């Protein structure tokens, strides 16, 4: 009886091993369309900044940004920033987006650890106020400035919060919100 079971098992193994298996081709990930994102290195995690109404020139949004694209940032062209004002007290009307500044790739330096281009981006409260044409009387504690960024690539593509997924904008690994808020305090 044991011989019959062994012979049956042997035939079963041979039958299954002679079946043809389908070979799946490897995915060519290098042929996929590629993009980029602007990672906020510090401060980490991403948080809202504050600017003092009493010292707009001395208070600021400041962060270390890293341009991540294929080939260690080779496709990176510029990081363009716009600013808007959000009136949260019912006083001055909110102000729509105004071009703030464009930071070219040449202003970034290659980081020796990551190999990607990095730059410290600084925007003072006064700079935002002047771009929006606001007076000191227009600002009240709890109002907010919002700075939004768009990463432009050399191939003509651009990436910002509107066309980037939640994993990039909200994820801790990518840390790329494309949005920085500065709350006005007294």
Tell me if 42 is assigned to some domain: yes
Domain that holds residue 137: 35-185
Instruction: Name the pTM for this structure.
Output: 0.79
Tell me if 92 is assigned to some domain: yes
Tell me if 29 is assigned to some domain: no
The whole-number pLDDT of residue 45 equals 82
- Phi first, then psi: give them for residue 56, nearest 5 degrees: -65, -35
6 pLDDT band, cuts 50/70/90, is low
- Tens of pLDDT along 28-74? 655 566 789 999 999 988 888 999 999 999 999 999 999 999 889 99
The whole-number pLDDT of residue 15 equals 58
Q: Is a pLDDT exceeding 80 seen at residue 127?
A: yes
Tell me if 83 is assigned to some domain: yes
Number of domains the chain contains? 1
Tell me if 62 is assigned to some domain: yes
Tell me if 93 is assigned to some domain: yes
Tell me if 130 is assigned to some domain: yes
Return the percentage of the chain with pLDDT > 70, whole number. Answer: 82
User: Looking at residue 67, which CATH number applies to its domain?
Assistant: 2.60.40.10
Q: What is the mean pLDDT of the chain?
A: 87
Q: Is a pLDDT exceeding 80 seen at residue 87?
A: yes
- Tens of pLDDT along 144-182? 999 999 999 999 999 999 998 888 888 778 888 899 999
Tell me if 15 is assigned to some domain: no
C-alpha 87: how far from chain center: 26
């Amino acid at each position: 009886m044991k011989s019959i079971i062994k012979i049956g098992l042997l035939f079963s193994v041979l039958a299954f091993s002679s079946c043809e298996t389908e070979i799946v081709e490897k995915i060519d990930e290098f042929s996929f369309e590629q993009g980029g994102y602007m990672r906020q290195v510090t401060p980490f995690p991403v948080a809202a900044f504050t600017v003092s109404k009493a010292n707009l020139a001395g208070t600021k949004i400041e962060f270390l940004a890293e341009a991540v694209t294929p080939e260690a940032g080779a496709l990176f062209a510029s990081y363009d920033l716009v600013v808007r004002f959000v009136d949260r007290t019912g006083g001055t009307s909110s102000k729509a987006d105004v071009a703030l500044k464009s930071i070219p790739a040449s202003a970034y330096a290659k980081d020796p650890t990551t190999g990607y281009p990095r730059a410290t981006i600084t925007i003072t409260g006064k700079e935002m106020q002047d771009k929006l044409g606001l007076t000191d009387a227009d600002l009240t504690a709890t109002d907010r400035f919002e700075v939004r960024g768009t990463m432009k690539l050399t191939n003509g593509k651009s990436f910002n919060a509107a066309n980037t997924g939640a994993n990039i904008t909200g994820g801790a690994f990518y840390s790329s919100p494309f949005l920085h808020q500065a709350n006005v305090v007294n």
